[in-house]
Amino acid sequence: ASGNKVSRQTVLCGSQNIVLHGKVIVQSDAIIRGDLANVRTGRYCIISKNVVIRPPFKKFSKG
């Protein structure tokens, strides 16, 4: 078992694109938008209440 704790009130969009790398806590009413881009967390991350994890809107060109 990886030890992830995800609240039942969490909204996971595109869950096949979300990777939690162990001992991650996702609190209630958090939204993780895996439908827009791949989302990966490290170990021991805490995603607090009412947080939205999403990719950036702006695309930066190198240089």
Q: What is the pLDDT of residues 15-53, one digit of tens each?
A: 999 999 999 999 999 999 999 989 999 999 999 999 999
Residues in the chain: 63
Give Dmax (Cα) for the chain.
43
- Predicted TM-score (pTM) of the model is 0.81
Range of the domain at 31: 5-53
* Tally of CB atoms within 10 A around 18: 19
Q: Considering the domain boundaries, does residue 27 fall inside one?
A: yes
Count of structural domains, the chain: 1
Q: Considering the domain boundaries, does residue 62 fall inside one?
A: no
Instruction: Please tell me the predicted confidence (pLDDT) of residue 30.
Output: 97
* Distance from C-alpha of 55 to C-alpha of 12, rounded to nearest angstrom: 14
Instruction: Please tell me the predicted confidence (pLDDT) of residue 57.
Output: 75
Q: Considering the domain boundaries, does residue 11 fall inside one?
A: yes
